[in-house]
Amino acid sequence: FYAFEHYGVVPDVTALAKSLGAGKAAVGAMIARREIYMKAYGTPKTAMIHAMATFGGMGEACATAIEGINVLYDEGLIDNAAVTGDYLLQRLQALRE
């Protein structure tokens, strides 16, 4: 799903936005390793105080993000991107030769 997964990288923090809302909703998110998260925010209950935003936690935007991710998996778009990327690289290498 993420480029860092393809290359075996384990980031401390990952920021997501824009495409997470599937072009319909303004959504952003942060994924962090537990020890980083706990050091920055403490317990999940206190983290909500720090993570609030004007439009944060809107149900429709969250549902849109979840459905967008489901479509990527259910429709095989991630696998298709890998196949298409491999094809593109082969064609570019052929041009180079």
The model's pLDDT over 37-64, given as tens digits with 9 standing for 90+, comes to 888 887 777 666 555 666 666 788 889 8
* Contact residues for 25 (Cβ-Cβ < 8 A; gap 6+): 58, 60, 61, 64, 65
Rounded distance between C-alpha atoms, residue 60 and residue 82, angstroms: 30
Are 64 and 24 in contact, with CB atoms under 8 Å apart?
Answer: yes
Residue 68 belongs to what domain range?
A: 3-96
**Mean of the pLDDT values across residues 12-38?**
86
Q: CATH number for the domain including 31? A: 3.40.640.10
Are 41 and 47 in contact, with CB atoms under 8 Å apart?
Answer: yes
pLDDT at residue number 83 = 95
Q: Is the pLDDT of residue 22 over 90?
A: no
The model's pLDDT over 81-91, given as tens digits with 9 standing for 90+, comes to 999 999 999 99
What is the count of structural domains for the chain? 1
